[in-house]
Amino acid sequence: MATVPQKTVQDAHSDRARQLLSQLAPLADSLSKGVAALAIAMYVCGFLTVSLHHANYGFVGTNPFRPRILAAGAWFMFFTAIPVAVATRYRQRGWISIAASLGFVLLLFYGFSNVLFYLLFDLGSPHSPTPYHRWSYWAWGTGALIAAVLYSLATRSEKVTVTATAVASGAFVLFALGLRLQGYLLMRDFESSDLALWFFGIFMVTVLELKTSPGDYSGDRIKGLGTDLFLIFTVLLVFGRYYYPHIRSSWGGGAPVAVTIYFTKDSAIKPGQSVSAQLVEESDEGFYIVGQRETKAVYVPRSAVALVYFSDSALDSSLLTHEGR
C-alpha cells in the first residue's frame, strides 16, 4: 500500500492556510475600517452631544478626550439604532400598511421605553420634575385599535381591515402626540413617553428617508446629502438638549450629581463655608456646579475646594457631623 510523503501533506496544509489567509485578509481589512469609522462617528456624535449639553449651562468643556464623550456617542447610537432597525422592515410596505402599523409601533416603543426609562434615566435633576404619567390615553388608544381590528374582522374584508386599522392608528398617534405636547407645555416634565416619542420620531424619519430616497448614489442622492446631514444634526440637537441631560451619570449620561462642597478659607465663594449644589462637570482644574433652581453653571477651581461630599445634605454622613467625631 502506497503512502503519501510527509512533505506533500505539509505542502497541502500550507496551501490551505495561505488560501484561508488570502480569503480572510479582505474581511479583516473591511472589519478594521468599519470599526475605525464607527469609533470616529461615535466620538463625533458624543463630542457634539456633550458640547450642546455644556452650552445649555453656559460653558464649554475644555477636555476633548474624556470618557464621557464616547459614552454620550454610544448612547446616541444605541437610542437611534433601535428605531432605525425597526424602520428597515417597512421599506417594502405600502403607505396604507405603514399607517395601519403606526399605533402598534408606538405602543411597542412605549413598552420598551418603560424598561429603559427607569433603568437609565434620572428623575431627580433640577431640570426634570416628578413625572406626571397619563396612563389613560394609552389605554384608550389600545382599546381603539382593538375595536378597529374587531370591526374590520367582522366585515370579513381585507381592504376594510387595513383602512379601518390605518385610520384608528393615525388618530391614536395624533391624539397621543397632541396630549403629550399639551402635558409638556403645562408641566415641563420628562417621562417615559418622551423616550417612546424619540423612538417613534426616529422611526418615522427613517421610514420617510427609505421610501423617498433612491437606493443608489446617483446625482439625486448626492443632492440629498445636505438634507441627511441637516436631519442628523437636528436629531443630535434634540438628543443633546433634551434626552442626554436626563441619563444617569452612573451610566455615562449628563444628569447632574447632588454634592455638598466645602470651600477653603481662601475661596472667593463663601470662604470656610459649605454649599449644596448640582455637579454638572468635573475637570482636572475644577468643578462646574449649578445652584438650586439655576440654569447657568459656576466654575470652582480645585484650589478653592477643601472637600466634596456626594450628597446634597451633610447630615447624611456621620463623618461630617458632630455625632461622627
**Rounded average pLDDT per 10-residue block, the chain, 325 residues:** 54 61 64 79 90 88 78 93 91 84 85 87 53 50 60 58 74 78 70 87 90 60 68 90 90 89 87 88 88 86 88 65 51
pLDDT of residue 74: 93
The answer to whether 84 and 108 are in contact (CB under 8 A) is: no
pLDDT of residue 132: 42
> Alpha helices of 88-191 — where are they, by DSSP H?
95-120, 135-155, 158-187
Query: Which value, to the nearest 10 degrees, does the dihedral of the CA atoms of residues 31, 35, 36, 41 take?
Result: 140
* Cell numbers that stand for 142 in this block: 389600545
pLDDT of residue 212: 80
From CA 83, how far away is CA 71, in angstroms rounded?
19
User: Strand order of the sheet with strand 305-309?
Assistant: 298-301, 286-290, 274-282, 257-263, 305-309
Q: Which long-range contacts (CB under 8 A, 24 or more apart) does 297-304 make?
A: 297/57, 297/58, 297/59, 298/269, 299/59, 300/261, 300/263, 300/267, 300/269, 303/264, 303/266, 304/263, 304/264, 304/266, 304/267, 304/268, 304/269
pLDDT of residue 224: 60
From CA 128, how far away is CA 280, in angstroms rounded?
14
pLDDT of residue 313: 67
Whole-model pTM: value is 0.76
> Where along the chain do the CATH 2.30.30.100 domains lie?
257-324
pLDDT of residue 126: 40
pLDDT of residue 285: 85
pLDDT of residue 315: 59
From CA 309, how far away is CA 237, in angstroms rounded?
33
The answer to whether 287 and 265 are in contact (CB under 8 A) is: no
Helix, strand, or coil (residue 182): helix
CATH second-level architecture of 257-324? Roll (2.30)
